[in-house]
Chains A and B, each alone.
Chain A
């Protein structure tokens, strides 16, 4: 006779399953597709539900060598970051499940340049690809439309789609068979609202990834963490507008911090610079994985390794 009655939640809903990428048979050229979502309980609670697709790691490469990245990060890529093709190759070798190609704003950035760059990345890697724009709406509309056309059939994820710019990007996704990354500012209702607006345009819910906006450890992480827990609970309780898998960007956020960028003039209590910098990305990411992240976008190869180990330990 058991002493304790282990409480198991009976959830009525589940997270939607979404597939990124398309193989040749499906109209693309990826060597494999990646599925995320499908959870029937809170993160990793295997005693009461299923986790059919473990969280996946995306590594971010930029269209050209970043000028303002922490030297710790540039050194980690050992020169591969000079060129998008060598970088994509190195990112795949570092164990990425997905590739993020981010465009940056500079003189050469034109729709034509964007097409060519995407083509080079698609040629170099067989992983499903996520494309992020520069963050400047006027530029991104042109860039992402061009990318959507060029990548037709590949089931790319186009980002970042926000309330202020989603129409153009969603139209491009609809026209060419892509998905979108829908980002809102750490708010459950805003997240639902954007999902509704996007699906009202005709993009099916299995082509929307939710991005609740990421704050780095110490710089607002817990706001996103709690929004994610609330979204995931709502999803499991059957709220269909919250049932999208979630994408987070700890790489971008953590490597912006002083902890990651500064090696001099910081307290001794901060410890070794390189170790601390990577820990900053890793602990931001690991906390968000515990709160339900399905796609985790990272920048450092060591972080990818450590988080894969964590994910394996939780789902193995």
Chain B
């Protein structure tokens, strides 16, 4: 939370209680006539604190802390894959947007024989969603009594993604850190009982460190402060709750503390564990988890969770759109069907994917409906007979096809009459309402 001009002024030399510093008040060396003027410029981010040669160290620290993001940005890296989470500014996506999609990890134990195999599957998993390729973000390796260092090595070799090293015994943790060298893993976890040794390791290996609590946020904050005092600034918080109710409350309270109270003690992203429950993982993705850990690699769970993440982290003010124009599907010839739809990404891909996977050739005319779906655009007057006719007349589609038949989406069947008037000589066909019914429709009507 930024300080106001007046609050900044109280930290500058003219306000200092130290006479030697106060003597420099209003010296003009920063380029501004008074400390107050400088303070106002700082508040407006129109100058840098470094312009003042006399600001005291304590004031400097306070000013820097307030300028720092309320929730720290944490970066992990694998052998060429990076993950950045944190630096969120709002409680609700509609207030602005959520900026850094939660990292989704799969956990393996050092006692499971297929750890490297799972790691390989995680590395290779990719799925398309509205033209974007969605992937997982890494593997969490847990020290459960096996050979932790060897498992970390094997996982690292099988998967170039970032790691989360889960060990609360410093000796184990170090074995894992050694095996993970060359990457920047997240180390889980420092607790009230082991934080000195864990902080030392985190500082030595230059990795971010999870501070784990046991449900109580006060003790969590206290240990986080102690870890920070030991020189580790890249901290991630684990409130230590594994249930729906408690974890929702803790995550909400922590985010409110960071954003509304500018509580620096807990100004860090969260890690949350979902076990085998994709519903719990869904809650963590929507409600403030930055690292979400699943206990198994199951595509039937992972695909919907990756889509959920994409949905929640979409900028509400920038609905994904495709370029209006002519799209050719399966190498269409002039006699092949012409369909029209809107340029909202989900709409476009729903239609295009259906036709594409059917193998049937077709021309898809994408009208500019300002990125809205068929029904939304129609209701808003952005997808009507005028716009469809305009699209037909101005895109040059008439030069590409040998017929004058156009298929309109079933949901705008009401446009039939008006469109016939706007496109004289054209046959307007009303297609199905759902894209999934298009292949059947095309076979029957154009066969």
Contacts and interface: CB of A to CB of B under 8 A. Distances in A.
Contacts of B350: 219, 258
Interface stretch (B5-13, B16-24, B64-72, B282-290): B282-290
Interface string A1-29: 01111110000000000000000000000
Q: Of residues B256, B299, B379, which shows the largest number of chain A Cβ atoms within 10 Å of its Cβ?
A: B299
Interface in B288-339: 298-305, 307-308, 310-312, 314, 316
Contacts of A276: 299-300, 303-304
A109 interface: no
Interface stretch (B228-236, B259-267, B382-390, B397-405): B259-267
B129 interface: yes
Contact of A3 (B221, B287, B301): B221
Contacts of B157: none
14 contacts: A2-B218, A3-B218, A7-B256, A42-B252, A45-B248, A186-B376, A229-B94, A258-B353, A267-B127, A269-B125, A279-B304, A283-B278, A314-B245, A316-B245
Contact of A268 (B128, B253, B299): B299
Contacts of A218: 129, 304, 307, 310-311, 346
Place the interface of chain A in its size category.
Answer: 35 or more
Interface of A: 2-7, 42, 44-47, 185-186, 217-222, 225-226, 229-230, 233, 256-259, 261-262, 265, 267-272, 275-276, 279-280, 282-283, 286-287, 290-291, 306-307, 310, 313-316
A220 B353 CA distance: 17
Given A3-B218, A5-B263, A283-B305, 19 more contacts: A3-B221, A7-B261, A46-B249, A185-B375, A217-B307, A217-B308, A222-B311, A226-B94, A229-B92, A256-B434, A258-B350, A270-B127, A271-B301, A271-B303, A286-B283, A287-B282, A287-B312, A310-B279, A314-B245
Contact of A45 (B252, B257, B301): B252
A258 B263 contact: no
B279 A220 contact: no
A83 B302 CA distance: 36
Contact of B93 (A7, A44, A222, A307): A222
B436 interface: yes
Given A279-B300, A279-B304, A283-B305, A261 B436 contact: yes
Contacts of B376: 185-186
Nearest to A310: B279
A2 to B, nearest CB: 5
Given A47-B253, A220-B373, A226-B93, A283 B125 contact: no
B253 A6 contact: yes
B218 A4 contact: yes
Contact of A258 (B256, B299, B311, B354): B354
B222 interface: yes
Contact of A46 (B243, B245, B314, B354): B245
A165 B244 CA distance: 40
Contacts of B298: 271, 275
Given A226-B92, A310-B244, A258 B436 contact: yes
A219 B314 CA distance: 13
B126 interface: yes
